[in-house]
Structure 1
Amino acid sequence: MLYAIVDIETTGSYALGNGITEIAIVIHDGERVLHVYETLVNPQRHIPLFIQSLTGISNEMVVNAPTFDEIAAQVYELLQNKIFVAHNVNFDYSFVKHHLSEAGYELNLRKLCTVRLARKIVPGLKHYNLGKLCHHLEINHNNHHRAGGDALATSDLFAYLVARDSEEVIASMLKGRNSEQYLPPNVPIEQLDSLPPSPGVYYFYDVRGKIIYVGKALNLKKRVKSHFSNNKAGKQKQDFLRDIYRISFKPCATELMAHILESVEIRKLWPLHNRSQKGYLPQFGLFAYEDQLGYMRLAIEKNKNHFKPLYTFNTIIEGHHWLRQMITEFELCPRLCNMAKSADCENGIDATGCTGTCGANIDPAFYNERVKDAVNWIQTHLPTFILLDQGLTAEEQSCILIRNGNIYGMGYIKEERLLNDLDKLQAELEPLQDNDYIRNLVYKHAAEYPEKCISFNLDARN
Structure 2
Amino acid sequence: MYTIVDIETTGGKYNEEGITEIAIYKYDGHEVVDQFISLINPEREIQPFVVNLTGINSKMLRNAPKFYEVAKRIVEITEDTILVAHNAKFDYRILRTEFKRLGFDFTRKTLCTLELSKELIPEQESYSLGKLTRALGIPVADRHRAAGDAFATVKLFKILLEKDVKKNIIQESIKHEPKTQVESRLLSIIESLPAITGVYYIHEADGEIIYIGKSKNIRKRINQHFTGTTRKAKKIQLQVAAVTYEACGSELVALLKESEAIKQNKPIYNRALRKTVFTHALYSFTDENGYINLKIDKVDGRKKPITTFSNRQSAKSFMFNKVEEYQLCQKLTGLYDSKSHCFNYTVKTCEGACVQEEAPEEYNKRVQQLIDKNSFSNENIVIVDRGREVDERSAILIQNGVFKGIGFFNLNYQINNLDVLESIITPMENNKDTQHIIKSYLRRNKNIKVLNIK
TM range (shorter): 0.3 to 0.5
TM-score by length of 2: 0.42
Larger Rg: 1
TM-score by length of 1: 0.42
